[in-house]
Amino acid sequence: MKPELKYIELKSGFGYNGPAWIGMAEFSKSGRTVYFNGRALKNSNAQGIAGNYFDIENGDEYWVSGIKKNGTDRHWGGGGKIMIDKNIVELYLSLVDFNVLDKNHFELTEIKTTDKQRFTELENKKLN
């Protein structure tokens, strides 16, 4: 699948105030696993308590969604800056209803690449 611009927020232990990112996410062939910022997030089939995906290494729950045109990606009851990949700012601004990032709401960051092969091997490891 083609990489997509996504909003991703850590829910475990944070409620609506977890660290959040906007960046390009990659997907497995089935589309059920999202690779982002060095992590592999598996679709929870709505079985999560607060998130719709979970980290396959540690079980942390994440909320993964598309970006909102008006920039209100965080839950109305949440807060905190959203870290946005500095490499996609122009793309993001071309998709939303504003043309400048508000420094009170966004912080530029670098998103790590994800070694998808490592996670494929981890998920397909034979059990003894």
Positive or negative: CA dihedral 46, 51, 54, 60: negative
Domain ranges of the chain: 4-123
pLDDT exceeds cutoff 90 at 76: no
pLDDT digits (tens, 9 = 90+) for 55-75: 999 999 999 999 999 999 998
Mean pLDDT, rounded, of the chain: 92
CB proximity list for 95: less than 8 A, separation 6 or greater:
5, 67, 69
Across residues 26-32, what is the average pLDDT?
92
